[in-house]
Amino acid sequence: MLIRLASTAARKITTLLELWHTRGFSAVRGNLHDQIVGPGPEPARTPTEWLRRFRPTPYLNARFRATAWPFDAPIFSWLLPVGVNTPTVELQASLKTILEQPYPRWEVIVVVNSATPPDWQPLFEAFTEPQFRLLRLDGEWNEIAALNLALVEAKGEYAARLCTKVTVAAHALHRFAEAALASQADILFADEAITGTNPEDILEIVARPAFSYDHFLTHADLGSLVFARTGKFRQAGGFTTCTDDGHLRLIESSAAVAHIPDVLSQSVAKLESPNVEAGRLARVEHFRRIGVAASVEPDRWNPGVYDVRFPVDPTARVAILIPTKNRVELLRPCIESLIRTTDPSTVEIVVLDHQSDDPATLEYFDQIRGRHLVIPVTGPFNFAALMNQGASAIRGRPTHYLFLNNDTLAPEAGWLEHMLGFSCRSDVGVVGATLIYPDGTIQHAGIGVSSLGGADHLFRNRKLHRNGYERSRDDRAAYLASREVTAVTAACLLIRAELFHRLNGFDERFAVEFNDVDLCIRARQARYKVIQDSRAVLFHFEGKSRGTEQVYHDDIQAFMENHRDLIGAGDPYSSPLHSMRPDIGVLQPWPVPPVDVRPRTVRIRLPDAPESIP
């Protein structure tokens, strides 16, 4: 009975915290009132209901219309090629949403040719100069040539293709204009709703994270409505047959990219597969232009997802630090898997023995001492302190440390080389692996900071493998693609030795929890990326060594005090539209249309060739 009461109380407290986070104190007060005198508010149960609640209210729409814009507010150019096969009904729906925009500074540039059917003409009768211009493309119809003709003639600071399968939210340009003025970004993108053939049938709300260059390389997902700075986009070569190619060329110009966390468009679900080879070639050419010898291969099971491998510095040497206290039944298979899957000329296996007293474990240490290093570490259990002791005691000069739990198992070769490719980049500080339970579900695919004050593993319990070898299919592909994250777990964490010591190692105030998250956050504060490597996959028998039930309140309090700003701002690699717990990855249950939306801006830092590591 007491357990049931505690569980119920925890659920009610979580509900109140969600309400406070998404709707403020008045919603919490109302919920408490409703629990006493009547039913509380119902959560949105379908994407259609969620979007209906999230759309701007009449009050907000009136506020948008009354906005006084500064003189330098941008002009947005819609580029619209109308060819032989352009559906009239879809075209009419898209144009209607443009005319409804309260933001006044825009233009539509329509490109036709002699073969374009005449039924398009009445659709533009509501448009007048200077907001409507008509261009004619000579010769045979070519959509890319039509788009680039419109781009050359565009007068706006930003330009976007207007796709007939996309309808634009009535307040979209208002949000894009606010973001452009606030961020001065070169690429602007937002969240969107995916519909069926019926535009009122919302299948999915795509709530995106802030832009990640590495996520874009492995799975480009900016959505169907993307504005690019017109002048820079022209200089970068404009539109090509592959959308990713144009964006990569623009990114190479030291671009800044801003994400607007608001649902600003609806697009029909795509039935056709992307042009995988065109995407691969776009990435290959991108690396050729920036002088990085990376390789690109498509994911066999997920079209549009790519395995990007960066070159490994030939001088790289990795010390794998494995802490243990007894538990030879875990340690032995862990080490044997490392022997099978790593290069002994590159790797040194280091066992950190924390006061083991089990005879079988001590006998195993005697057996491996000739091949591997066994270092005694002392003191009460403090993971951060033990790791720091071990790193300081290692002989030689390893260029990298890999902190690895003794309850992990590496199933196949190549995982460490893949992680090293990322870690040899000068812009990357920390690299984490994807860890799975024995049944193929995810235990760790990155860590997100929670608005509740802690940090959670992302995508926990999602299916990574459909069977023994096929990766699961996922249209959004977040956990199937390598990407930037706020943190990764020290159950398998790779970091350059020089950076580890420069950051003074793990913070020993975090005895058990959050020491790895804190290290990653400090690396990010030093302007290094933290990468979750989707291609380095290990088994993790979580909690086998010391259990998972205990809550370490001192660690939680220290984490909240040290990283209050990040917790308050929200995890950049999660969406503000999501629930407060980033491990859940679901939308806020009680959506409220936001009055103000802050763009999340990232200035791109491109990788370079591996530096010589001393």
Q: Are residues 122 and 252 in the same domain?
A: yes
Residues 90-114: tens digit of each pLDDT = 788 888 888 889 999 999 999 998 8
pLDDT band at 422 (very low <50, low <70, confident <90, very high): very high
Q: What's the domain count of the chain?
A: 3
Considering the domain boundaries, does residue 605 fall inside one?
no
Q: Are residues 290 and 360 in the same domain?
A: no
Question: How high is the pLDDT of residue 37?
Answer: 43
Task: Confirm if 451 and 580 have CB atoms less than 8 A apart.
Answer: yes
pLDDT band at 58 (very low <50, low <70, confident <90, very high): very high
Residues 15-27: tens digit of each pLDDT = 556 555 544 554 5
Question: How high is the pLDDT of residue 583?
Answer: 59
Residues 207-251: tens digit of each pLDDT = 999 999 999 999 998 999 999 999 999 999 999 999 999 999 999
Q: Are residues 95 and 134 in the same domain?
A: yes
The enclosing domain of 139 has a CATH number of: 3.90.550.10
Please give the model's pTM, rounded to 2 decimal places.
0.88
Task: Confirm if 356 and 326 have CB atoms less than 8 A apart.
Answer: yes
Q: Are residues 382 and 440 in the same domain?
A: yes
Q: What is the chain's Cα-based Rg?
A: 27
Considering the domain boundaries, does residue 313 fall inside one?
no
Write down the H helix ranges in 483-537: 497-502, 515-525
Boundary (domain end) residue, out of 244, 273, 307: 307
Please say if the pLDDT value at position 33 is more than 80. Answer: no
CA dihedral 369, 373, 378, 381 (to 10 degrees): -110
pLDDT band at 390 (very low <50, low <70, confident <90, very high): very high
**Angle, alpha carbons 206-209-211 (nearest 5°):** 120
Overall average pLDDT of the 467-494 stretch: 82
CA pair distance 279, 297, nearest whole angstrom: 10
Q: Are residues 284 and 342 in the same domain?
A: no
Q: Are residues 199 and 323 in the same domain?
A: no
Domain membership of residue 13 as a residue range: 1-41
Average pLDDT of the chain, as a whole number: 86
Among residues of the chain, what percentage have pLDDT more than 70? 87
Give phi and psi for 448, each to the nearest 5: -115, 145
What single-letter DSSP state applies at residue 406? T
Q: Are residues 364 and 289 in the same domain?
A: no
Q: Are residues 291 and 356 in the same domain?
A: no
pLDDT band at 38 (very low <50, low <70, confident <90, very high): very low
Residues 131-157: tens digit of each pLDDT = 889 899 998 999 999 999 999 999 999
Question: How high is the pLDDT of residue 447?
Answer: 92
Considering the domain boundaries, does residue 456 fall inside one?
yes
Q: Are residues 143 and 96 in the same domain?
A: yes
Boundary (domain end) residue, out of 307, 326, 358: 307
Boundary (domain end) residue, out of 272, 307, 342: 307
The full DSSP string for 117-178 is -GGGGGGGTT--TTTEEEEE--SS--HHHHHHHHHHH--SSEEEE--TTEEE-TTHHHHHHH
Q: Are residues 200 and 332 in the same domain?
A: no
